[in-house]
Amino acid sequence: AVYYRRPTPYAARYQHLPIQQRDFATAEARHGLGGVLNHLHGATYVNHPGSVTAADFKPAQLQLAPQVGLAIPPTLVTNDIGDVHAFAAEHGPLIYKTFRGLPRDQDGHTGAIWAQRVVPDTLDDTLSVTAHLFQAEVPKTGDVRVTVVGRRVFAQRIAALDGALDWRRGDWDKLQHTPMCVPMSVETALHSYLAAFGLVFGCFDFALTGEGDRLEDWVFIECNPNGQWGWLPDADAIAGSFAEILSTSTKGGGA
């Protein structure tokens, strides 16, 4: 069994080499060592790197979620300022979020751009430089992180003390967690979602618009196919589920 968890990039090993040699060594390692590790016969992957890559694209996630019965916010992917104004006129207050996190800077530090409210009139034609993700703001009653490992589902309602739009931007040690039951209709949708991408594990983020006892109360935000879970109050139980899958699997998984 293989637990695939954000390994160091191949390129990091070859930073001391000239550019051509670095790129050559990186590509050889990716296709050689990576080619072996990604195609082990009879192994169960949690998750297979190919499945993680496919499931990591937010537009793909947002297309699949409604297909399995989950609601999503009205969404626009564009680099056209006119599209943004038209979208805002139809859907009201807008949220901007990135597709990916910030890359490392020259000193090797990473950062993040959290989900944030935007006023369309403050945007200009520099929007055309690249693609952007806009969504209608969900009038939510709360946020839920759902961690699915195999057939087991763990859910925590999360609240930031300052009521932040994006709870990830604050002090994680000060977040308030409340265990939550997930309706069977939502669980079924989550398992269908993972199966469609060939995943065994995923960390789902939802905005609640009601009490959470109905499928329509749950608005899908995203699913991280290689998300963090060690900080959650039920981390020990989640770890046990990983251990059970990795130690008892008898048939291979894959992309």
* Residues 162-218 pLDDT 10s: 767 777 776 777 788 899 999 999 999 999 999 999 999 999 999 999 888 888 899
Render pLDDT for 64-112 as a digit per residue (tens, 0 to 9): 999 999 999 999 999 999 999 999 999 989 999 999 877 777 776 777 7
Torsion (CA) 180, 186, 187, 188 in degrees, nearest 10: 170
List, for residues 138-176, the tens digit of each pLDDT value: 988 889 999 999 999 999 998 877 767 777 776 777 788
Residue range 49-72+140-248 in CATH 3.30.470.20: yes
Average pLDDT of 245-254? Answer: 67
Q: Which residues pair with 207 in a beta bridge?
A: 143, 219
pLDDT of residue 111: 72
- Nearest of 149, 127, 107, 161 to residue 236 by alpha carbon: 149
**DSSP letter at 71?**
B
Chain centroid offset of residue 54 CA? 12
Contacts of 251 (CB under 8 A, 6+ apart): 42, 44
Q: Which of 5, 75, 3, 86 is nearest to 222 (CA)?
A: 75
Name which of 84, 108, 91 is nearest 15 in CA terms: 108
Distance CA 36, CA 29 (A): 10
